[in-house]
Amino acid sequence: MSNIPTPHINAKAGDFAQTVLLPGDPLRAKFIAENFLENAKQVNSVRNMFGFTGTYQGKPVSVMGTGMGCASIGIYSYELINFYGCKNLIRVGTAGALTPKVNVGDVILAQGACTNSNFVRLFGLPGDYSCIASFDLLRKAVDAAEKLKMNYFVGNVLSSDGFYAPRGNVTTTWTDMGVLAVEMESAALYANAARYGANALTVLTISDSEFSGHITTAEERQNTFTNMMKLALQLV
């Protein structure tokens, strides 16, 4: 703990709960803190990547933005695990549909995360690592989704480095491989959690679909999609 505050987090020792919700958007972190947590206190403001700690139904919980992409969540998840002792990291974010069977507003529980990012290769493994969620968190999330009667899917997502990435000449697509949705962070989160001894799960809401043509606004993504937040908080 002698390495805190870090270059990216100015919280003090003990400011973060062991369970942290990780939205990409710091304004979504602020929204969750103000609308779901009791006695929320801001614990981080570096780079306007807001972090808060409060309680939910009497249990300590934190929420903090991570920015976009594997590189960004890789920094924040590393520091939260290794410097602040966080044990359960739950990403809550949005994703684009990669299959017509999921619709805008559906919840995705990311059992695994495929990726085109180089992040996982930086660990120097002698092969390709399968980035998977914590089974305990995933099982609890499925139980919570059933209890809350949500329309949800469990399966693979794609963590892509490119938001506007060109498709290129491909013969097999992620859709062909049964991947449900595309986002930008889960593979790095799962890899860091595995390497440094924490639990991780990504809970996503489908925000757009090229199959239906439905695209949500930035304001809708920031202030709505509360089902995934309610579900994530059941895991605290």
> What CATH number is associated with residue 92?
3.40.50.1580
pLDDT at site 2: 66
Q: How far apart are CA 101 and CA 119, in angstroms?
A: 30
- Beta-bridged to residue 96, according to DSSP, are 182, 208
The total of structural domains in the chain comes to 1
Q: How far apart are CA 134 and CA 119, in angstroms?
A: 19
* Segments in the chain below pLDDT 70: 1-2, 222-224
pLDDT at site 151: 94
Q: Is residue 24 part of a domain?
A: yes
pLDDT at site 203: 98
pLDDT at site 80: 98
Domain ranges, residue 190: 19-233
Query: Is 208 known to be catalytic?
Result: yes
- The size of the chain, in residues, is 236
Q: Of 15, 25, 106, 208, which residue is the catalytic one?
A: 208
Q: Is residue 1 part of a domain?
A: no
Q: How far apart are CA 191 and CA 133, in angstroms?
A: 9
Q: Is residue 111 part of a domain?
A: yes
Q: Which two tokens stand for residue 167?
A: 């498709």
147 Cβ partners below 8 Å, 6+ apart? 234
- Phi then psi dihedrals of residue 147, to 5 deg: -65, -40
Question: CA dist 190 to 25, 56, 138, Å?
Answer: 19, 24, 12
pLDDT at site 221: 74
pLDDT at site 170: 79
pLDDT at site 218: 79
Q: Is residue 40 part of a domain?
A: yes
Q: Is residue 7 part of a domain?
A: no
Q: How far apart are CA 82 and CA 38, in angstroms?
A: 26
Q: Is residue 8 part of a domain?
A: no
pLDDT at site 166: 76
Q: How far apart are CA 139 and CA 156, in angstroms?
A: 15
pLDDT at site 204: 97
Q: Is residue 155 part of a domain?
A: yes
Q: Is residue 70 part of a domain?
A: yes
